[in-house]
Structure 1
Amino acid sequence: MVCDKCQKKLTKVIVPDKWKEGASNTTETGGRKINENKLLSKKKRWTPYGTTKCVICKQQLHQDAKYCQSCAYKKGVCAMCGKQVLDITAYKQSNV
């Protein structure tokens, strides 16, 4: 659960550009080399489980966030910025 402000950060797309005009992944414009391994050529490699960990339970996170999804729901906060999103006073949760 994320707030409206952090929702914009989640709209990044991993797939390459679809159109050839102005695309950075085509060979015609010199955007990339032929038979290039993208994982080895990048300076900063992408790892699915990065170094960020949840503040509460210390679980590794897959996005740039402060809380994992279960801890964010239990506290009623945004997972990325920690802003209060949901009023949980009427919720009956066993491990709050």
Structure 2
Amino acid sequence: MVCTKCEKKLSKVAAPDPFKSSSASIKEGSRNVGGSKLIGKPKAPSTSSTSKTTRFQPYAGKCKDCKQTVTQNRAKYCHGCAFKKGICSICGKQILDTSGYSMSAK
């Protein structure tokens, strides 16, 4: 659950769907279907162990209540806790009055 103010903070999809018919790569014919991926693959430079530790982790946040990993960037609460409490998962503002609902105590 996200409030209207935090909707613009939501993560966007990283890339468009490549199998969509309106995709530019299918129109131009640059997409190689059925080809070997190993033939055209460039050789990767040797990596050290430090590059693995500095890798970007987008979902590194934890829920304030249950300490579960959140699935949204900048979120303070996981989806389950936000739904049970009726709050926005990013800012924590009360969205829904859950006093009349029969919520599970899990």
Both structures adopt the same fold (TM-score exceeding 0.5): yes
Q: Report the TM-score, using the length of structure 2 for normalisation.
A: 0.57
Q: CA deviation at 1:65?
A: 0.5
Q: Report the TM-score, using the length of structure 1 for normalisation.
A: 0.62
Structure 2: where are the runs of 5+ without partners? 17-22, 25-41, 48-53
Give the counterpart letter for 1:75 in structure 2. Answer: K
1:1-96 equivalences under 5 Å are: 1-10=1-10, 12-15=12-15, 45-50=55-60, 52-63=61-72, 64-95=74-105
Structure 1: where are the runs of 5+ without partners? 20-34
CA distance in structure 2 between the partners assigned to 1:4 and 1:83 by the alignment:
11
How many residue pairs get matched? 75
- Higher mean displacement: 76-85 or 86-95: 86-95
- Residues 62-96 of structure 1, C-alpha deviations (whole Å, 9 max, x = no match): 22111000000000000000000001010011317
Q: Which has the larger radius of gyration?
A: 2
Give the 3-state SS of the residue equivalent to 1:74 in structure 2. Answer: helix
Distance 1:12 1:94, change over 3 A: closer
Give the counterpart letter for 1:62 in structure 2. Answer: T
Give the 3-state SS of the residue equivalent to 2:10 in structure 1. Answer: helix
Root-mean-square deviation (CA), in Å?
3.0
Identical amino acids, percent of aligned pairs: 52
